[in-house]
Structure 1
Amino acid sequence: MTRAHSSATWLVLAFALVVVYASLFPFAGWRVPPGGVATSLWLPWPAWFPRFDIVSNLLGYLPLGLLAYVAAVRSGWRAGAAFATAVAASALLSYTLEVLQQFLPARVPSLLDLALNAAGATLGALAGAALHAIGALERWQSWRDRWFVRESAGAIALLLLWPLGLLFPTPVPLGVGQVWDEARGWALAALAGTPWFEPAQAFLAPPSAPVPRPSLIVEAVAVALGLLVPCLIAYTVTHPGVRRLVLAAGAAAVAVGTMTLASAMNYGPDNALAWWTPAVGPGLVGGLAAAVLCLPLGRRHVAGVALVALTALVAIVAMAPTDAYYALNLQGWQQGRFIRFHGLAQWVGWFWPYVAMGWLLSRLGRAGAA
């Protein structure tokens, strides 16, 4: 059977990284377990069974098993081998993380967690097998072949992850990618105790004067670019035509819905539209207008325009200040109000633009991307 490139392959890798992050957070206090390294290979049975932990451990690995099964089948594996591999790989990942948790005093590993994780992965793989049996995966492939070019897995994965990044607090609406404050801290921590620490600290020091909030025009441009970029990424794997217009309208609807959901989660349902500043309306209209103007462009030209737009968006977001609402919002996430969802949204929100840049550069390097 011919192996196909599946977006599920990229999604299962991304979800596995999120599982690693959520399982080992906060990555601090590493030490050898009291009984020694050898004892860490044996997982203890828990003394208590919190209902929330049971449900979260069971459901947390369900998407992993589902995605792993779909990725294997879509890559040409037989159904039985795909099912066994999805369950075994998920269980092995869970066991590895439970063992590593014994080196972290803030985490409580247990054999029950491993069993629930494996059960969740099995349920996910069973769901994938059911979808395969009723032909749902084949219908998805047929729909994908009509709407997208053959090598579209990377773009589809990026588009599916984009709304998750919007759920993490952003300094401006649709303004993902503000990771520079964290990157500065990571760089200084890595250089601590070296001769380069003080020069790096002076070079990386944030501005002493408060950074003014972007004007309404700049904020509207950021909103427009934040909408335009996913539209253009979708264009790079579709042929010119009405399908692009449908995808652009869908991106706008997803952006509005996701930002409204994020505001409702952080400020409460009564403030679900708190993100809608005076710049949002003009920005969305401008982003859609730019997307319409790009409808007839070839896929390689679209990739070039998308790379320029994404670079401009990252530059604007990097210069945006941390306002009071953003700081309060961010503090709520980091203090654990959404700790079990924190990893996925945070890391996608930080790094989605830079992964997208790399993917767009790869598209530009392909002579066949007409």
Structure 2
Amino acid sequence: MSVDTSVSTTPSAKPDSLWHRLRRKPLALSLAYVGIIVYASLFTNHPWRDNGVGLFDFMAGGWPRYWTRQDAWFNILAYTPLGFILALSPTHRPSPWARVLVPMAIGFALSVSMEALQTLIPGRVSSSLDLFFNTLGTLCGAMLSLFYGPTLLAVAGRLRQRLDVRRLSAETGLILLGLWLFAQISPENLFFGLGDLRTLLALPPTLPFSPNQHFLLETLIATLQTLVVAFLLRGVLARLALTRWEQFLAIMILLGLGVCIRTLASWVLLSNLPLFGETARWAALTPGGLTGVLLGAMLTMPLLYLPIAWQMPLAATCLMTATVLVNLMPINPYSPTALSVWRQGHFLNFNGLTRVIAAIWPYLALLFLVWTDHQLARGEAGRTRL
């Protein structure tokens, strides 16, 4: 008797849902990044109003009177990832010209829309120069993807397989760590101190400023946040056969990257303060913050010997303690960012986004830690029954 195997009834033969198809394509990532650009471009604390200027009059305007190379580079770098992601789409992969021209056209259309809507936002100045640099950034991203995209995809695929990123825990952990790095861009944030809700809720400081108290609180916050980041990365790397020294090295690299991003942002955004000059460039590297990172790094290695089932509750405790201290932290009146209205330029567009991410990150991380601890407990229970 023969068996017909032409039609399989196994679950693997069923067509994937739309969500699974989107996750395997750059479309989902492109839409997410477009959402970030839209939010950052249209963020404002003031109501929109008609200024009596046509939405597209900026395209006929000449060279703007005031512009800086910093603003130009910011526009280019902001749109470069969009061009890179769009060029990875499989719909136009066979044609190199389509991989370049289609993303550039999308970037141009998006930039035109954002510049047009910014004419309705008080304090924003739409400019054809911004449109040019945004489109140039999209073009640069598409060109980078054309030459280096396949190699990066191959490396990312091997890394994804090694990390077993198909697990929701690993994927979510990587996203949280990426958001943590992104939140370090704003020099307004305390050194590794995330979760400050006072700005969003317009709450006044609860404690008066004292130099010694400020130093101790900043040191403690940075120490606790360093441990939280270490435990998060430890959870992401759980499936890799890494020694504790290799895990420690990976944690130090991530922390060093966070410090470098914070320092670079300080150099770029605070270097033109008239009252502080060169001192403002190092405003991000506060004594309390550096001391806290050093203490956290020293505590990380012995804590890695704890069972991972203990590390998640400990990380949640450190996270909530640091978040409470951040919201009690007095404002330093001698900080360059507090004494001067630093010229944010086009960073104003992303300042609201970084502020929101910095405010909600600890609460997202807490949900992740609780969920991960629950999954670990279920895994231990399953092995015990076996």
Q: With structure 2 as the length reference, what TM-score do the two structures score?
A: 0.69
Where does 1:94-173 land on structure 2 (aligned, <5 Å)?
94-104=111-121, 106-109=123-126, 113-114=130-131, 116-133=133-150, 135-147=151-163, 149-151=165-167, 152-169=170-187, 172-173=190-191
Structure 2 vs 1, CA of residues 172 and 34 (structure 1 numbering), >3 Å: closer, same or farther?
A: closer
Structure number with greater Rg is 2
Aligned counterparts of 1:7 and 1:323: Cα–Cα separation in 2: 46
Say whether 1:348 aligns with 2:354. Answer: yes
Q: Corresponding residue for 1:308?
A: 317
Structure 2 vs 1, CA of residues 311 and 97 (structure 1 numbering), >3 Å: closer, same or farther?
A: same
Aligned counterparts of 1:123 and 1:344: Cα–Cα separation in 2: 21
Q: Percent identity?
A: 24
Say whether 1:321 aligns with 2:338. Answer: no
**Helix, strand or coil for the counterpart of 2:184?**
helix
**Helix, strand or coil for the counterpart of 1:338?**
coil
Q: Please tell me whether the aligned partners of residues 176 and 349 of structure 1 are also in contact (alpha carbons under 8 angstroms).
A: no
Query: Displacement, 1:138?
Result: 0.7
Q: Corresponding residue for 1:47?
A: 62
- Return 5+ residue gaps in structure 2 as ranges: 1-15, 271-275, 380-386
Amino acid at match of 2:134: N
Say whether 1:178 aligns with 2:192. Answer: no
Aligned counterparts of 1:353 and 1:235: Cα–Cα separation in 2: 23
Query: Displacement, 1:315?
Result: 0.8
**Helix, strand or coil for the counterpart of 1:162?**
helix
Aligned counterparts of 1:232 and 1:312: Cα–Cα separation in 2: 15
Amino acid at match of 1:103: L
Where does 1:30-41 land on structure 2 (aligned, <5 Å)?
30-32=48-50, 34=52, 40=55
Q: Please tell me whether the aligned partners of residues 304 and 360 of structure 1 are also in contact (alpha carbons under 8 angstroms).
A: no
Query: Displacement, 1:84?
Result: 7.1
Q: Please tell me whether the aligned partners of residues 45 and 110 of structure 1 are also in contact (alpha carbons under 8 angstroms).
A: no
Q: With structure 1 as the length reference, what TM-score do the two structures score?
A: 0.71
Aligned counterparts of 2:344 and 2:311: Cα–Cα separation in 1: 37
Aligned counterparts of 1:282 and 1:109: Cα–Cα separation in 2: 43
**Helix, strand or coil for the counterpart of 2:157?**
helix
Tell me the C-alpha RMSD between the 2 structures. 4.1
Aligned counterparts of 1:298 and 1:130: Cα–Cα separation in 2: 44
Say whether 1:236 aligns with 2:242. Answer: no
Q: Corresponding residue for 2:13?
A: none
Q: Corresponding residue for 2:345?
A: 339
Query: Displacement, 1:247?
Result: 1.7
Amino acid at match of 2:147: A
Query: Displacement, 1:249?
Result: 1.5
**Helix, strand or coil for the counterpart of 1:236?**
helix
Aligned counterparts of 1:23 and 1:368: Cα–Cα separation in 2: 39
Q: Corresponding residue for 1:62?
A: 80
Aligned counterparts of 1:154 and 1:251: Cα–Cα separation in 2: 16
**Per-residue CA shift, 1:159-193, capped at 9, x if unaligned?**
2343442342357532233341x2233xxxxxxxx
Aligned counterparts of 2:114 and 2:159: Cα–Cα separation in 1: 37
Q: Please tell me whether the aligned partners of residues 169 and 329 of structure 1 are also in contact (alpha carbons under 8 angstroms).
A: yes
Structure 2 vs 1, CA of residues 297 and 85 (structure 1 numbering), >3 Å: closer, same or farther?
A: farther
- Return 5+ residue gaps in structure 1 as ranges: 186-203
Deviates more, 1:12-21 or 1:288-297: 12-21
**Per-residue CA shift, 1:266-324, capped at 9, x if unaligned?**
35545665655554565234312443244356666544433322211111111111112
**Helix, strand or coil for the counterpart of 2:293?**
helix
Say whether 1:253 aligns with 2:256. Answer: yes
**Helix, strand or coil for the counterpart of 2:346?**
helix
Query: Displacement, 1:43?
Result: 6.2
Where does 1:61-100 land on structure 2 (aligned, <5 Å)?
61-70=79-88, 72=89, 79=93, 86-87=103-104, 89-100=106-117
Q: Please tell me whether the aligned partners of residues 221 and 292 of structure 2 are also in contact (alpha carbons under 8 angstroms).
A: yes
Q: Please tell me whether the aligned partners of residues 224 and 284 of structure 1 are also in contact (alpha carbons under 8 angstroms).
A: yes
Query: Displacement, 1:103?
Result: 1.9
